[in-house]
């Protein structure tokens, strides 16, 4: 690893501090009695409370002017100017703490604790007057620091912003330090989850945990990640959903259960898809999907209010209003609304013809349900910006949903669509075990025909249904999708702290290099132990010395079974 000049300098500063008897990474706690947000909000009202403060954070900028300096301190709650004066930091003859430690050995990015008092500068900025400071952690890597100014309208303008998406996602910690709006986004995500949790707890539903490692994956149509348990010597799957487990709990006698679940799907990635994502699933006994729609409306409206203080949320150029009640369309109505075609009574052949007319791509494997779904997806979904419930999906697409109480071929199912994307999915749960078995069997048929996402038959789940599942309404809400809308984020990566990325760099594995040069496999560990990392290292020492070293290391590593190389052999590596 090649260190930059600035990194080397910071390492030297670290040893300078140690030479001065200052531990750059002290162990003892640093008492903090206030944060920046608190000062900004309350100092003007209650100045006497801020005569003796102790605060810690990261040094974000410095303006040194001879024997006085201004700097900026950032803690979790915000940023504030701090003021240093040499003769206050160092009241005695010895000016080391200011002249050397502060001016020379401190850098932007260092974490410090300060004691002092709050005051207002001549230019009217609330600042902290530093009486003493302490280094709490030395930072060895320079931060991509963002400077900010305000234009005439008072808008904050960033300069040299840290914007490279790759760097931001790979080094989220840096992103969080220098881009305060990123912290806000993730706080909102947590408030969103908390709001849902409180909402469900208030209604008496029980938060539960169910297996992530599952012997049979189910509850959704998706490709799973597969792994293996050594002791049991069996395959296991990372869950694609937790639906079937939560329904087992309803069978067990709980009237309402929910779980915030990380689910895993081995599928494509995009700005809407990450291999692992979060859903909250909720199941409530003795309810149906109509009831669940009311719950979703109320819950999501409450989220908007909690996060924004209003039901109106700005997303891109649009304003989305989550105020109840939301528009409700059956799928047929939605299609008729957007295409002018009433497909509710059409046969499979007529549907095919309609799809072709509407330029909806189809293929011969598609049945009636799939055709309807395609037409909807192609012609309607993207146009639904304001939150809208779409109800009554084709039953073929919903193998875990109850058949519609009155409409042939449909299921009691709804999705809420918002900003052109599904944010939740819900149905009256299928609780007829015989029907459920048949639906699974139909899925098996699809699987045999090569549908990789077809569901697998879960005998234990069917057994649970046979004991009796009360009529139940179920719901799944995509937390990431909802968080994207609620935080005005364009990509799922912006609402996941650590989105999935390709590995950073192919580490050049020396053993591969050596193997290519014709080194016997068993000798490679010896070379690595000798500190050789590439072929140049081999070429840089005399062949005879290399030969001696290898034989010596072989002995040291007690590799009796390995034959020493010959001189010719060693020579051949370098050639």
Partner RNA sequence: GAUUCCGUAGCUCAGUUGGUAGAGCAUCUCCCUUUUAAGGAGAGGGUCCUGGGUUCGAGCCCCAGCGGGAUCACCA
- Of the candidates 50, 84, 98, 169, which one interacts with RNA according to CB under 7 A? 169
Rounded Cα distance between 562 and 252, Å, is: 62
Q: Taking Cα atoms as reference points, which of 329, 332, 348, 294 lies closest to residue 410?
A: 332
**Minimum distance, C-beta of residue 380 to RNA, in the bound complex (Å):** 13
Q: Collect all residues with Cβ–Cβ distance below 8 Å to 117 and sequence separation of at least 6.
A: 50, 51, 52, 53, 128, 129, 131
Q: Which two tokens stand for residue 161?
A: 């912003």
Candidate segments 28-36, 60-68, 321-329, 510-518, binder of RNA by CB under 7 A: 60-68
Of 30 and 70, nearer to RNA (C-beta) is 70
Q: How far is CA 315 from CA 385, 386, 486, 487, 490, in A?
A: 10, 11, 8, 8, 9
The secondary structure of 326-384 as a DSSP string is PEEEEHHHHHHHHHS---TT--HHHHHHHHHHTT----TT--HHHHHHHHHHHHTGGG-
Please report whether residue 274 would count as binding RNA according to CB under 7 A.
yes
Contact characters 69-98, RNA, x per CB under 7 A: -x----------x-x-x-x-----------
Please report whether residue 306 would count as binding RNA according to CB under 7 A.
no
Q: Taking Cα atoms as reference points, which of 68, 59, 65, 174 lies closest to residue 105?
A: 59
- Of the candidates 16, 35, 78, 108, which one interacts with RNA according to CB under 7 A? 108
Residues 138 and 24 sit within 8 Å (Cβ to Cβ) = yes
The secondary structure of 174-207 as a DSSP string is HHHHH-HHHHHHHHHHHHHHHHHHHHHHHTTPEE
Candidate segments 89-97, 119-127, 205-213, 550-558, binder of RNA by CB under 7 A: 119-127
- Of the candidates 15, 23, 167, 190, which one interacts with RNA according to CB under 7 A? 167
Please report whether residue 9 would count as binding RNA according to CB under 7 A.
yes
Using CB atoms within 10 Å of the CB of residue 323, give its burial: 0 to 12 exposed, 13 to 18 middle, 19+ buried. Answer: middle
**Minimum distance, C-beta of residue 194 to RNA, in the bound complex (Å):** 21
Q: Which two tokens stand for residue 518?
A: 């014709």
The secondary structure of 517-556 as a DSSP string is TT--GGGHHHHHHTT--SHHHHHTS-HHHHHHHHHHHHHH
Location of structure tokens 């974490």:
111
Q: Which residues inside 214-253 make contact with RNA, applying CB under 7 A?
A: 220-222
Please report whether residue 148 would count as binding RNA according to CB under 7 A.
yes
Please report whether residue 492 would count as binding RNA according to CB under 7 A.
yes
Please report whether residue 277 would count as binding RNA according to CB under 7 A.
yes
**Minimum distance, C-beta of residue 166 to RNA, in the bound complex (Å):** 4
Of 476 and 565, nearer to RNA (C-beta) is 476
Rounded Cα distance between 478 and 296, Å, is: 12
- Of the candidates 422, 429, 458, 549, which one interacts with RNA according to CB under 7 A? 422
Residues 427 and 474 sit within 8 Å (Cβ to Cβ) = yes
Q: Which residues inside 538-557 make contact with RNA, applying CB under 7 A?
A: none
Please report whether residue 62 would count as binding RNA according to CB under 7 A.
yes
- Of the candidates 154, 204, 268, 531, which one interacts with RNA according to CB under 7 A? 268
Q: How far is CA 343 from CA 359, 364, 399, in A?
A: 15, 19, 22
Please report whether residue 4 would count as binding RNA according to CB under 7 A.
yes
**Minimum distance, C-beta of residue 72 to RNA, in the bound complex (Å):** 8
Collapsing DSSP to helix, strand or coil, 66 comes out as coil
- Of the candidates 162, 237, 376, 461, which one interacts with RNA according to CB under 7 A? 162
**Minimum distance, C-beta of residue 477 to RNA, in the bound complex (Å):** 10
**Minimum distance, C-beta of residue 272 to RNA, in the bound complex (Å):** 5
Please report whether residue 309 would count as binding RNA according to CB under 7 A.
no
Of 56 and 220, nearer to RNA (C-beta) is 220
Of 141 and 520, nearer to RNA (C-beta) is 141
Please report whether residue 265 would count as binding RNA according to CB under 7 A.
yes
Please report whether residue 182 would count as binding RNA according to CB under 7 A.
no
Rounded Cα distance between 416 and 31, Å, is: 48
Q: Which residues inside 361-400 make contact with RNA, applying CB under 7 A?
A: 377-378
Residues 41 and 34 sit within 8 Å (Cβ to Cβ) = no
Of 251 and 391, nearer to RNA (C-beta) is 391
Candidate segments 182-190, 285-293, 433-441, 473-481, binder of RNA by CB under 7 A: 473-481
Of 12 and 460, nearer to RNA (C-beta) is 12
- Of the candidates 267, 333, 435, 569, which one interacts with RNA according to CB under 7 A? 267
- Of the candidates 68, 137, 362, 574, which one interacts with RNA according to CB under 7 A? 68
**Minimum distance, C-beta of residue 283 to RNA, in the bound complex (Å):** 17
Please report whether residue 501 would count as binding RNA according to CB under 7 A.
yes
Please report whether residue 125 would count as binding RNA according to CB under 7 A.
yes
Q: At what angle do helices 289-308 and 479-486 cross, to 10 degrees?
A: 40
Alpha helices by DSSP H, 145-258: 165-170, 172-178, 180-202, 243-251
Q: Which two tokens stand for residue 261?
A: 């679940």
Residues binding RNA: number (CB under 7 A)? 74
């Amino acid at each position: 690893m090649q260190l930059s000049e600035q990194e080397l300098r910071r390492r030297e500063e670290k040893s300078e501090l140690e030479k001065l008897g200052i531990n750059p990474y002290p162990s003892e706690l640093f008492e903090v009695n206030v944060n920046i947000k608190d000062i900004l909000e309350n100092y003007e009202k209650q100045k006497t409370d801020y005569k003796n403060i102790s605060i810690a954070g990261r040094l974000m900028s410095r303006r040194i002017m001879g024997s006085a300096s201004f700097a900026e301190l950032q803690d979790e709650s915000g940023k504030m100017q701090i003021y240093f004066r040499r003769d206050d930091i160092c009241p005695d003859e010895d000016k080391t703490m200011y002249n050397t430690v502060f001016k020379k050995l401190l850098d932007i990015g260092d974490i410090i604790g300060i004691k002092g008092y709050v005051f207002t500068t001549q230019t009217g900025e609330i600042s902290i007057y530093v009486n003493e400071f302490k280094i709490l952690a030395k930072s060895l890597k320079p931060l991509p620091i963002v400077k900010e100014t305000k234009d005439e309208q008072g808008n904050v303008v960033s300069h040299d912003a840290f914007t490279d998406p790759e760097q931001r996602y790979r080094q989220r910690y840096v992103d969080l330090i220098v881009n305060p709006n990123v912290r806000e986004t993730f706080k909102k995500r947590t408030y969103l989850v908390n709001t849902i949790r409180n909402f469900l707890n208030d209604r008496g539903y029980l938060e539960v945990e169910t297996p992530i490692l599952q012997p049979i994956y189910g509850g959704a149509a998706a490709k799973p990640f597969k792994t293996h348990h050594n002791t049991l010597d069996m395959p296991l799957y990372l869950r694609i959903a937790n639906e079937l487990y939560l329904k087992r709990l309803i069978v067990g006698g709980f009237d309402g259960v929910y779980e915030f679940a990380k689910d895993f799907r081995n599928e494509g990635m995009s700005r809407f898809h990450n291999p692992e994502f979060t859903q909250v699933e909720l199941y409530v006994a003795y309810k149906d999907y109509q009831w669940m729609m009311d719950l979703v409306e109320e819950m999501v409206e409450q989220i908007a209010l909690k996060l924004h203080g209003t039901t109106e949320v700005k997303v891109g150029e649009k304003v989305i209003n989550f105020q109840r009640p939301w528009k409700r369309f059956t799928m047929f109505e939605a299609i008729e609304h957007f295409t002018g075609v009433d497909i509710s009574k059409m046969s499979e052949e007529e549907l095919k013809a309609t799809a072709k007319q509407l330029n909806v791509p189809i293929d011969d494997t598609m049945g009636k349900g799939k055709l309807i779904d395609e037409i909807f997806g192609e012609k309607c979904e993207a146009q639904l910006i304001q939150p809208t419930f779409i109800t009554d999906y084709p039953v073929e697409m919903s193998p875990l949903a109850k058949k519609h109480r009155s409409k042939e071929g449909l299921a009691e199912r709804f999705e809420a669509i918002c900003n052109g994307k599904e944010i939740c999915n819900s149905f009256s749960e299928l609780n007829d075990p015989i029907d459920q078995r048949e639906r699974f069997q139909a899925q098996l048929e699809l699987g045999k025909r090569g549908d990789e996402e077809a569901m697998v038959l879960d005998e234990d789940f069917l057994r649970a249904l046979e004991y009796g599942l009360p009529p139940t309404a179920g719901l799944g809400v995509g937390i990431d999708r909802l968080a994207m809308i609620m935080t005005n984020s364009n990509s799922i990566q912006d609402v996941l702290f650590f989105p999935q990325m390709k590995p950073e760099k192919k580490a050049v594995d020396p053993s591969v290099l050596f193997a290519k040069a014709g080194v016997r496999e068993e000798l490679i560990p010896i070379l690595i132990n000798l500190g050789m990392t590439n072929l140049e290292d081999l070429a840089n020492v005399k062949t005879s010395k290399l030969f001696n070293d290898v034989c010596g290391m072989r002995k040291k590593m007690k590799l009796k079974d390995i034959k020493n190389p010959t001189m010719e052999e060693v020579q051949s590596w370098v050639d």
